[in-house]
Amino acid sequence: VHDIPAGECWSVDCIEEVKMQAAKYNFNIDVVESVNVHEDIKLGLPSRKKYIENYKNTLKNLGRAGVKVVCYNFMPVFDWTRTDLYKPQSDGSTALFYEKAKVDNINPVKFLEQMSKQEGLLTMPGWEPERLSKIKELFEAYKEIKEGELWENLKYFLQEIIPVAQENGIKMAIHPDDPPWSIFGLPRIITCRDNIKKFLSLVDNPSNGLTLCSGSLGSCTKNDIVAMVREFGGKIYFAHIRNIRHFKNGDFTETSHKTSDGSLDITEIVKAYHDIGYKYYVRPDHGRHIWDEKCRPGYGLYDRSLGIMYIFGLWDAFEKISASKRGQYGVE
């Protein structure tokens, strides 16, 4: 229900409408991505109390509808950042692309003006026109907010909403920052293994968990996604599995899900989930735009369908290997 502005309560009626739409195709709404967090909450303004109450009521309404996991993020201003929405790839497809020098050397308002000219941007979550219309005011507001303040504001938010989530049978799953480093001087904190560990310690509650996005965290070459899956697996309530390709100059592009097409070892990532007995939710996340499909940037249906089957294929292979090993040692 991205037509509802961040900070407003999602009504029972609008949630039920989406639930019925999904049910027509034999789908459910176990997972919601995303219930966006209002900027006043991230900034720690007095008005955050009103928006947190709205968030709590949204969680209550989602719980009534049977939702089990809610994905959200705590990124200031921009939910995610790319410089090209349809970058041509060597295989003839196009994909989301990040050019480091362009982001490092441009004023954010000028950057926004350039990006707004690209078809499809303003249909993307995190780039809504009403949010972007206030871009100058937001950057002014964040001038005094450093990482320490953002951590405190996140802790306050969690202390308020996690008990409500638990009471309503919902696991909260924070999405890492994308990309996982500061852009335009804005603080970013869900960026690496140590910060994820710190995040989980802010509120020690079964409903406080992660959306582990291999593509977001994997944008930083220092992040070991396989190790994170094995360490935090019990708190990963939503797994985003996708691949990217790094370039030496700091650029990266999104690719197909195949290990051989990118810089991330998707095979080992899926194996790690299999090894820990992962039992929560997975999606193939972003995909290329292939076969002349007209789609939202990064959300090609065709390539994400291929991604689903690639992940299924890997999982089936590891199931077969496990069964073979059990038979070899006489374990039934």
The letter for the amino acid at 152 is E
| Residue 237 is among the residues annotated as catalytic for this protein | no
Q: Which of 55, 79, 84, 240 is catalytic?
A: 240
Beta bridge partners of 261: none
Q: Which of 38, 175, 257, 289 is catalytic?
A: 175
| Residue 285 is among the residues annotated as catalytic for this protein | yes
Using only C-alpha atoms, the chain has a radius of gyration, in whole angstroms, of: 20
DSSP state of 80: B
- Three-state DSSP state, 289: strand
Beta bridge partners of 72: 174
> Distance between CA atoms of 243 and 253, rounded to whole angstroms?
9
Q: Which of 156, 278, 299, 302 is catalytic?
A: 299
The letter for the amino acid at 203 is V
> Distance between CA atoms of 180 and 259, rounded to whole angstroms?
21
Q: Tell me the residue length of the chain.
A: 332
| Residue 192 is among the residues annotated as catalytic for this protein | no
| Residue 299 is among the residues annotated as catalytic for this protein | yes
DSSP state of 77: S
The letter for the amino acid at 189 is I
The letter for the amino acid at 106 is I
Q: Which of 257, 274, 286, 289 is catalytic?
A: 286
Q: Which of 98, 192, 213, 274 is catalytic?
A: 213
Q: Which residues contact 185 (CB under 8 A, 6 or more apart)?
A: none
Q: Provide the strand spans (E) within the chain.
A: 31-33, 69-72, 84-88, 94-98, 171-174, 208-213, 236-240, 244-246, 252-254, 281-283
| Residue 98 is among the residues annotated as catalytic for this protein | no
Q: Which of 285, 289, 303, 310 is catalytic?
A: 285
| Residue 13 is among the residues annotated as catalytic for this protein | no
Instruction: Give catalytic residue positions.
Output: 175, 213, 240, 285-286, 299
